[in-house]
Amino acid sequence: MLVDLKALYPKLINLMLDAVFVVDGDNRIVFVSDACEALLGYRADELTGTPITDYMHPDDLAATRASIVRVMNGQPHSDFRNRYIHKDGSIVHILWSARWSEEDGVRIGVARDVTALRQAEEKLRFLAHHDPLTGVTNRSLFDDRLDSALRAARRHQSSLALLFLDINDFKYINDTHGHAVGDRVLCTIARRLKRCVRETDTVARMGGDEFIVLLTDIQSPDAVSRKVEQIVAVLTEPLGTEFGEIKTPSCSIGVACYPANGEDADTLLSHADDDMYRQKGRRSQTG
């Protein structure tokens, strides 16, 4: 039996999970496959005859137009990503494979929804630089920011401070109430620390119940003292009814200032750590 392949082509195209677009030289949509409705929420008849640029994310228009010029100059583009606006207003991340058909005067593109992939990539990038429990900066990113802050401080002859913070008697919370409760306490502390600092500052978890705060562009030693007082006051606020009768743990904070207490990262971190343990020692003596 002979099969009319030309008659099958539209059916085959509409079976594809990826969406097929045919766009003319004026960027008007000539044809879209049925998969486009799942991709962008529009039926084929709603899109046909309209400019494809109407559905692009405005921030991606310049890069997309550059890709269009490339394709229309005879250079297929098989790995271009951009964003479109779904009919419901949400953003769709799309991976394109496109080429120009000179004989037909149209651009043929196949579009794949990679929104879930993009979200997974962003999550992996976030986890590479942030503590997975509390969401604050991890040690790796903190070290990079400290190095950058020190370079800026040397260049501008400004000051910065490190606050090394340890939660007192945190082991008691874990041992008495369980690690799940302890984790919730750490997350609460991390959120409160972030409330105390500017966007230009950094809160990092160093591991366990230890956090460190990087304060940049410090105007005076008094400013550091006031910040420590603010942090102590905020962290000692009641935990909330969801924690039952668990009392808010106190904290010990060690301070190191650049350049007074050191001019490199290791010296400053060591000084702040030592100062924190001195604070803990004074607490045990008075407690």
Q: How far apart are CA 71 and CA 99, in angstroms?
A: 6
**Side-by-side strand order, sheet with 106-113:** 29-32, 19-24, 106-113, 91-101, 77-85
- The radius of gyration of the chain from alpha carbons, rounded to an integer in Å, stands at 29
Under 8 Å between Cβ of 131 and 111: no
Q: Which two tokens stand for residue 257?
A: 């200032």
End-to-end Cα spacing for the chain: 94
Q: How far apart are CA 184 and CA 133, in angstroms?
A: 9
Q: What phi, psi does 251 have (nearest 5°)?
A: -140, 155
Residue 137 DSSP code:
B
Using DSSP's 3-state secondary structure scheme, residue 243 falls into helix
Enclosing H/E stretch for 234: helix 221-235
Task: Answer whether the bond into residue 221 is a cis peptide, omega within 30°.
Answer: no
Q: Which of 113, 131, 209, 273 is catalytic?
A: 209
266 an active-site residue? no
Q: How far apart are CA 66 and CA 20, in angstroms?
A: 20
Residue 28 DSSP code:
B
Length of the chain: 287
Using DSSP's 3-state secondary structure scheme, residue 73 falls into coil
Q: How far apart are CA 138 and CA 106, in angstroms?
A: 50
Catalytic residues: 209
